[in-house]
Amino acid sequence: MPREPFILLEDVSKGYSVGGQPVHALDHLTLSIDKGDMCALMGPSGAGKTTLLNMIGGLDVPDSGKVMVGGLDLSRLNEMQRASFRKRNVGFIFQFYNLIPSLTAYENVLVPVMFERDQRRSRAEELLDRMGLSRRMDHRPSELSGGERQRVAIARALMNDPPLILADEPTGNIDSETAREIVSLFRQLNDEGKTLIMATHDRMMAGKARSMLRMRDGRISGIKASPRSSTVHLGSAQYQTQARE
Amino acid sequence: MTERPKTFTIATYGLSHMRHNVMRTITVLVTLMITMGFLILTLSLFFGLASEFDTDSERRSILEGKVPTSTDLFRDLRIDRDMSEGSRQALVELLLFTTVLVCTVSFFIIYNTMALSVRERRREIGILRALGLSSWEVTKLFLAEGGFIGLVSWISALFLGMPLILNLSVYLLERGDTAFFFVAPAIPPQLLVVSFLSCMGLCLVSTYLAARTRIGSSPVKLMRSQE
């Protein structure tokens, strides 16, 4: 019996209007990604990488098509249910860190659990310790380097122990040495069973992934899976889209 | 190393934000304090005139403690006591109208102040939403801040603004060029209750209305906003 994919997109389209011109951020995209994959999304700016991540993370909804994550149809959830889905299942890591400037590193990590009864504060300290930031916990983002900020953001993404990590250009604003550390950390997280999807321009980072999707104009233009894993599948709709080109 | 907070709550979040943005917090507090000062003054005039004249001695003792030059004030209070029922009624109605007007103006001032604060923090709202906080949870953060600012402004208005306004009214009385201020301001207990409820109500409702639209919009759009 075929395995149920962890992430499944069926004929997903999403359009925006930029300066009055319609832009197809995702154009009839169909793909599936298995649990435990570490997938790199590559492609030029405007190819639809961030939109794809936003769809999978329940931050945005498609104009048409279906987005399933862990058996849950995100396109059928209302905003409150999507927020709950994000809190429990997704850890976001952004290019510009997106930390709250008024809070310390420690408090930033606690933001996702602010309204929880059991805040597991020791977990926040452990995560920051794991990120090598045990001496920087009480510093605000403005007092931290780019690499340190990104590590705080990673600790925050892991606070709820989500099965899925989505990273949008996580090494886009940091030096190559810190980038290597972050890639190595991502590999560790993947080895621990987390599914990682990262949009990146960084070839070194993409080279460490188990699979790679190349995107162009809201479509998948190429796919590469390492011998260890061939977990990314393109559906028939995608082939039809490509055939029309 | 500093002691980390035992719990990370709405209060921790709000206070960190206010500490981090000291100038903005002071601006908001001063704006609201002045607005609430006027609101309290109008209410006090209203209560002063509408309440029974038995409270005159009480009023006088309060004023004696707070107002340095009160001779003329008491002379005018005598005029107040001698005022005909019809004139008093007309003044009560005028003050009721003024109170409603001041409440409406206060609401718009507070609403604008809060709307500006929410607008400045669109990106932050987007981040919170992306991290899985619901619209209502983010709204609660803003309501807590609005409520706290309202409380501090009310207390400041009461203890700092009122004596200033009382002194101003005494000054105007001494010049004798205003008939309006001969109704000496009073601070009866019901003023405390009504002014507290109206100040907090105005703050919470205007914060809620200012926050509601933006907090409810798409997290992706909010995160794209520039600071």
* Chain B residue with minimum CA distance to A98: B127
For residue B81, count CB atoms less than 10 angstroms from its CB and return exposed for 0-12, middle for 13-18, buried for 19 or more.
exposed
The answer on pLDDT for B190 being more than 80 is: no
ipTM above 0.90, yes or no: no
Residue A187 forms part of a structural domain: yes
CATH value at residue A199: 3.40.50.300
Work out the angle at residue A150's Cα, subtended by the Cα atoms of residues A149 and A152, and round it to the nearest 5 degrees.
65
Is A70 a member of any domain? Answer: no
pLDDT along chain A (245 residues), means of 10: 75 87 88 90 91 94 94 91 94 92 93 86 91 93 93 95 94 87 92 94 88 90 64 45 33
Inside any domain, residue A71: no
How do residues A162-186 score in pLDDT, each as one tens digit?
A: 999 999 999 888 888 888 999 999 9
Contact yes or no for B127 and A98 at CB 8 A: yes
Task: Please give the full DSSP string across A59-120, using - where no structure is assigned.
Answer: SS--SEEEEEETTEEGGGS-HHHHHHHHHHHEEEE-TT----TTS-HHHHHHGGGTT-S---
Q: Kindly tell me the sign of the dihedral angle through the C-alpha atoms of B193, B196, B201, B204.
A: negative
**Most B CBs within 10 Å, among A60, A100, A154, to test the B interface:** A100
H/E segment holding residue A38: strand A38-42
Enclosing domain of residue A184 = 36-60+78-226
The reply to whether A162 falls in a domain is yes
Task: Kindly list the distances between the CA atom of residue A91 and the CA atoms of A58, B90, B196, in Å, as whole numbers in the listed order.
Answer: 11, 65, 43
The secondary element (H helix, E strand) that includes residue A188 is: helix A176-191
CA distance A188 to chain B (A): 22
Given a cut of 80, whether residue B179 has pLDDT beyond it is no
Total of domains in chain A: 1
**Which of A83, A101, A114 shows the shortest C-beta gap to B8?**
A114
B12/B147 Cα distance (integer angstroms)? 14
Say if A122 falls within a structural domain: yes
Question: Domain for residue A24, yes or no?
Answer: no
In this prediction, residue A236 carries a pLDDT of 41
